[in-house]
Structure 1
Amino acid sequence: MRLPEDKSDLDAVAQLAAAGLPAIAPFLDDLVAWVADGNWPVARPVADLLVSTGRGAISALRPVLRGNDAIHQYFVLTLVVCQLSRDDVAALRADLERLATKPTTDQIREGVSDLAEEILQTFQP
């Protein structure tokens, strides 16, 4: 079992998906990096893999949502967070609220703040 070696390494993603949790738990932080650009061939399969881990992905998603890379945040929100369960999104509520209400200029420009607000509205308790 190995991490993708490049943005087209779909075989590695398939192997990780076949292994499932808990085997891939140590790789979740590294896998989130492959969702940095939704145009990469591995981005959607990796996002689906992260979603399949449910709550397991939360600790890997937080550093991105709390970071400064607005494009990475956009793709994490679009490809992963939007597909999580209501309970899993609730675990990210504070991060989503911050993105929606106190965005940086880059987050506004990349649509991160609007997307965070939309997710909050969709997943209201």
Structure 2
Amino acid sequence: MEDIQALIQKLDWDTPEAEQAEAIHKLQDIRDGELHLLLQPLGKGYWDGAAEVIVRLGFPRVKPILPGLLEWIQDMNWPGAAQIAPFLREIGNPLIPYIQDVFRNQSQDEEWMYWIFEMILDHWNKEQITPLREDLIRLNEGGTIALKALRTLWVHQIYPGEAVLLLLEDKKQRSLTEIAQLENAYPGIDCEALQREFREGIFTPELSRAYIEQHREEISFCYRKSSLHDFVSEIEELVREVSGSE
């Protein structure tokens, strides 16, 4: 077999199609100890080709690199992620321990967890979701991910609709209370005007940096308030979904 690194070099977007296809074919003979070399190798131009190799290798061949494959969907804009996500989804139960590890040890990475829900868990059945029950319950505290966890628990009838609605109402009231507290603490701040002024100087880096420094506290207030309003809207959307099925 040709040198692995030389073959991986041929996975680049700019490699002629026939040459790239040949490299993908030859990489099917990669040894288990070298599988990690396919995990987002070199630069992003190589990732689509590497993902194709991995998908063709299939499971259980790629079992040793499952944690790295799950990391690949931290950002679904990354090349190859659109191929890796459905591949992971179909693997099913063997992926559960690695998802649990993310939920337990990477819970601050909400974007990663969001994509795990969106690309994998939202497509699984109750039998696959049930082992994650305790982890989903732990995720109930928080923002958008808490809503994803609650919806999953409800869809698979692990939590009844009535319980989910009560939890959602509590989250909504707490968010509205925080909004009111923020408005009392920072009266008179016009977030729309603040945004307009920032946009006017955005193409002058020195001005935009100075503006941010000067208005850091107000910007932080507006960002938090906007995030809370968005969260309330997400809660209300889920309430409508759950209520409509009751």
Alignment match, 1:23: 61
C-alpha offsets along residues 80-105 of structure 1, whole Å, 9 cap, x if unaligned?
111223211111111111112x33xx
Helix, strand or coil: the match of 1:77?
A: helix
Give, as a single letter, the amino acid of the residue that structure 2 aligns with 1:4: Q
Letter in 2 for 1:24: V
Relative to its length, the structure with more helix (as a share) is 2
Q: Residue type of the partner of 1:46?
A: I
Q: What amino acid maps onto 2:94 in structure 1?
A: G
Name the structure, 1 or 2, with higher relative contact order (CA <8 Å, separation 6+).
1
| Structure-2 separation of matches of 1:76 and 1:47 | 9
1:4 partnered with 2:44: no
Correspondence for 1:86: 126
| Alignment correspondent of 1:35 | 73
Q: Can you give the 5+ residue segments of structure 2 that lack an aligned partner in the other structure?
A: 1-29, 31-37, 159-246
- Which residue of structure 1 aligns with residue 154 of structure 2? 121
> Is the contact made by 2:50 and 2:80 (CA closer than 8 Å) also made in structure 1?
no
TM-score under structure 1 length normalisation: 0.84
Q: Which amino acid is the alignment partner of residue 71 of structure 2?
A: A
Output the TM-score relative to the length of structure 2: 0.45
Contact 2:44–2:78 (CA<8 Å) still a contact in 1? yes
Instruction: Give % identity.
Output: 26
1:19-61 per-position Cα deviation (integer Å, ceiling 9, x unaligned): 1121110010111111111222322321111111110111111
Q: Distance in 1 between matches of 2:44 and 2:98?
A: 19
Out of 83, 98, 115, the residue aligned to residue 45 of structure 1 is 83
How far 1:62 moved relative to its partner?
1.3
1:37/1:72 contact within 8 Å kept = yes
Count of aligned residue pairs for this structure pair: 118
Contact 1:7/1:34 (<8 A) preserved: no
CA contact (8 A) 2:49 2:80 kept: no
Alpha-carbon distance, 1:123 to partner = 1.5
Indicate if the aligned counterparts of 1:54 and 1:85 stay in contact, CA closer than 8 A: no
Q: Is the CA contact 1:44–1:79 (under 8 Å) kept in the aligned structure 2?
A: no
Q: Which residue of 1 aligns with 2:204?
A: none
SS state of the match for residue 139, structure 2?
helix
